[in-house]
Structure formats: C-alpha cells, structure tokens
Amino acid sequence: MEVSVRVLFVDCCTKEGGASKTRQLCRIFLDEVKRLHPEYEVETLVLKEKKLVPLEEADIVRRNALIRAGETGDCMFDHARQFADAERIVAAAPYWDLSFPSMLKVYIEHIFVNGIAFAYEGPRAVGRCIAEKFMYIQTAGGFVGENEPGSMYLKAVCKMLGIPEFQYICAEGMDIQEIDREQQWRTAVEETVKAAQQW
C-alpha cells in the first residue's frame, strides 16, 4: 500500500503566475514528483500572499512568553508547525542581491521556533523537523557559481532544524544575451526532472 507523503512547497517567487521562471522550474519538479508518486500531497504556501513582517522586540517577547507557557498551538506558530510537520520541503526563489527575496528570510524568522522547529537539549540545539529532504530551486539572470550564499544559508538552516538532505538546483544565465539561454534552460529542466525522479 502506498503511503501519502506531505510535501510543503514554499513559493517565494516575486512575479505572478507563469511569468516567473523560478515557479515554472519548480512546477516541472513537482509535476514529475506527482507523476511518479501520485499519493504525495503537496501543500503550497505563497509567501507574497501571507505578507509576513519581520519580528520586532514585542513579537519576540510575546513568542518567548507563549513558549514558556507551553502554548505552541497559538496562531503565531502556524507556519513553524506546518514546516516542522512536512515530510518533504520544496522552496522556490529567484536569485536576488546575492541570495533571495527578503520575504524568505522573514518566513524563516517565523519558523525558527524553539520547541517546534528545534529544541535545546542542554546547551545544544537539536532539530525537530521531520522532513527528510529539502529541495531549493532557483533561477538567476547571471552566473552564481558553486558557493551561492542563499543556498549555503538554507543548507545551514536545514542542518540546524534536523533536515538531513539538502539539494539545490539553479537555472543560471537567464538574462545574458550573449549565450544560448534556451539551451541553459533546457539543461536546467533536464537536471530538475532527473532530481525529481530521484527524490
């Protein structure tokens, strides 16, 4: 009997609909995953629609008070619980200013909750997320290279939160006129489909 797997798709794309190549690439990945695993349940979180704001001091004080009181069911922690309970996670974001749009960083602030996404055991933080795999899909106008800062940051996030496998795909050179951009795109699509088949 096939067992359903909860997949969380965190959409951090800035353009609407099909205008976003990042979203196109992520849809190719998810469509291939669903083709191979129709029992997988994909839940989509569109960050543009959530309009999350950076946490300020008053938010941190309230959050800490709720955690101390054991009230982790409060709506303030909805995103953290959703993230921690997902069995696979896909995040899509364009390359912006050496990393990704700020709304993704703000989202991470909201999910980094002690007692939900991680917990301290003595002086050591231990991840509590149940996801086994995190796929980060990106597109870039230029070439970002192997040590792309945003992907390195997200890999560190996964390590802290207990997610053992981090994968990264980037369609590079999408705005460079002097190269064959269609070939660049085809290569990225092929890599994406292959990754989905092994995911």
Per-residue confidence (pLDDT) for residue 21, from 0 to 100: 96
CB 160 within 8 A of CB 118: yes
Per-residue confidence (pLDDT) for residue 2, from 0 to 100: 64
Angle, CA of 134, 139 and 145, to the nearest 5°: 85
> pTM, whole model, 2 decimals?
0.95
Domains present along the chain, CATH in parentheses: 6-197 (3.40.50.360)
Check residue 51 and give left, alpha or beta (phi > 0: left; psi -120 to 50: alpha).
left
CB 161 within 8 A of CB 154: no
Per-residue confidence (pLDDT) for residue 76, from 0 to 100: 97
Per-residue confidence (pLDDT) for residue 1, from 0 to 100: 52
Distance (Å, rounded) from C-alpha 173 to C-alpha 184? 7
Q: What DSSP state is assigned to residue 17?
A: G
- The sign of the CA dihedral 159, 154, 192, 147 is negative
Predicted confidence pLDDT, tens digits, the chain (199 residues): 567 899 999 999 999 888 899 999 999 999 999 999 999 999 999 999 999 999 999 999 999 999 999 999 999 999 999 999 999 999 999 999 999 999 999 999 999 999 999 999 999 999 999 999 999 999 999 999 888 999 999 999 999 999 999 999 999 999 999 999 999 999 999 999 999 999 9
Distance (Å, rounded) from C-alpha 10 to C-alpha 92? 6
CB 113 within 8 A of CB 157: no
Backbone angles phi, psi at 197, to 5 degrees: -70, -25
Total count of residues recorded for the chain:
199
CB atoms within 10 A of CB 66: 17
The residue written with tokens 């590079």 in the block is: 172
CB 89 within 8 A of CB 133: yes
- Of 199, 129, 118, 114, residue with least CA distance to 164: 129
Per-residue confidence (pLDDT) for residue 154, from 0 to 100: 99
Instruction: Give the ranges where 52-197 is alpha helix by DSSP (H).
Output: 57-68, 78-85, 102-111, 149-161, 181-197
pLDDT, tens only, 18-34 = 889 999 999 999 999 99
Per-residue confidence (pLDDT) for residue 3, from 0 to 100: 72
